[in-house]
Structure 1
Amino acid sequence: MNIKLSLLLLTISFLCSCSNNDDQNENNSKCFSPTQNLSNAYEPGSVGCDCDSENDANICVQDEKGSNVALICSEKKWIVVEDGPCNPGKS
């Protein structure tokens, strides 16, 4: 293969991967986690940020308004639940 063509293809591939990373970073800035966007967690269509199911504990945190938000790391994404970590001992 021609060297110029190889460099062109490599450059295009790099630019495409950077664009995808920018999209992913933008989506991550809108997602909720124990440390960000908690006031949106219970909104329809909200998306949980990535988490590590083995290391991230279920947690109850307060949002900016002082309301409790119960978060569980499930299938590598934060999900919000109605009680769980905010009501320990209740089933």
Structure 2
Amino acid sequence: MELAVTEYIGLVAGTLTTGAYLPQVWRTWRSKTVDDISLAMYWSMTLGVGLWLVYGIAIRAAAVVIANAVCLVLVASMLRMRIRYGRRAREDAARGQLPPLQ
């Protein structure tokens, strides 16, 4: 199967834009810190990338499907970590504000 130049461009573009999320996912996973990560942004990105994936499937564009499938995993992982670690941080802070037991 021979790919057109435009498919190669799409695959390279998808690899670069999807790969851009890897450092953030890795850092967040290792540090378990989400203080400066926007919950609204990751909800929006997850929904948007999911819709791009559906669009790519509908038009049968391999580059769009592959890039957005991988990207969806990454942004959904960030969303999950943002919710999970953010909740944990709030709970820890609340515990710290309670008076010590005697």
For the aligned pair, the TM-score class normalised by the smaller chain equals 0.3 to 0.5
TM-score normalised to the size of structure 2? 0.33
Q: Point out which structure has higher relative CO (alpha carbons under 8 A, 6+ apart).
A: 2
Would you tell me which structure has more helix in proportion to its own residues? Answer: 2
Larger strand proportion of the pair: 1
| Greater Cα radius of gyration, structure 1 or 2 | 1
Normalising by structure 1, what TM-score?
A: 0.37
